């Protein structure tokens, strides 16, 4: 009986190792390459466009290089195969600098302080109550009014949505223990402690990047 159990567990861990052999778990020591994310897939594969491949007259040594870059109508760069290309700056997904992710919303980059399976950040978005208005695809037009909003990003789907407690509870369903503790909080506590529970969830459910 014991030898059988030993073989069973050994096989399980070997198979588990193979399934993650081409991936590396994200941790505090993991290096996210610096550069521009043209789309969400670039982030998920840790494969941004490095500064060296971006064609611009802006000084690349400046700390606010990417912020200034996004102010232009288009961003010109070299494809990975060496071909010249350009993208409308409003369509750039974000960038990474000093191992921190920044997301582009209406040509403004916002820092993502909580990153993992569930990411959380706060951004200033245009105030517009028109039906069908979407902060991710519409601009503020002639209005300068903005409002701070909280957002959640699902690492596996790339889904980016405004935060609400029901949405977070739906994301937490994969961990019964954490979901139970979060659901037991009052409505006020759920909003105040959201980032804390997201961090706890991310610690238990690490994300993986392709091994380079």
Give residue 91's pLDDT. 95
pTM of the prediction?
0.82
Round to whole Å and give the CA distance between 56 and 34. Answer: 17
23-35, pLDDT tens digit by residue? 999 998 999 999 9
Please answer whether residues 182 and 172 qualify as being in contact, where contact means their C-beta atoms are separated by less than 8 angstroms. yes
- Per-residue confidence (pLDDT) for residue 141, from 0 to 100: 47
Concatenating the DSSP letter of every residue in 29-91 gives: TPPPPPEEESSHHHHHTT--B-GGGEE-SS-TTSTTHHHHHTTSSEEEEE-TTS-EEEEEGGG
**pLDDT one-digit tens code per residue, 147-202:** 999 999 999 999 999 999 999 999 999 999 999 999 999 999 999 999 999 999 99
Instruction: Give the residue extent of every domain in the chain.
Output: 23-111
């Amino acid at each position: 009986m014991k030898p059988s159990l030993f073989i069973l567990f050994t096989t399980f861990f070997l198979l588990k190792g193979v399934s993650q052999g081409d991936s590396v778990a994200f941790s505090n020591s993991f290096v996210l390459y610096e550069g521009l994310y043209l789309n969400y897939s670039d982030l998920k594969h840790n494969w941004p466009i490095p500064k060296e491949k971006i064609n611009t007259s802006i000084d690349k040594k400046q700390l606010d290089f990417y912020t200034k870059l996004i102010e232009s109508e288009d961003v010109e760069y070299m494809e990975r195969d060496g071909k010249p290309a350009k993208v409308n700056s409003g369509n750039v997904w974000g960038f990474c600098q000093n191992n921190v992710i920044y997301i582009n919303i209406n040509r403004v980059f916002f820092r993502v302080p909580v990153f993992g399976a569930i990411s959380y950040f706060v951004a200033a978005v245009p105030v517009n109550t028109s039906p069908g208005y979407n902060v991710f695809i519409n601009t503020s037009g002639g209005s300068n009014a903005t409002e701070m909003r909280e957002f959640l990003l699902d690492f596996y789907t790339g889904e980016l949505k405004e935060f609400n407690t029901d949405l977070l509870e739906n994301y937490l369903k994969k961990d019964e223990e954490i979901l139970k503790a979060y659901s037991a909080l009052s409505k006020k506590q759920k909003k105040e402690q959201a980032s804390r529970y997201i961090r706890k969830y991310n610690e238990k459910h690490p994300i993986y990047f392709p091994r380079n």
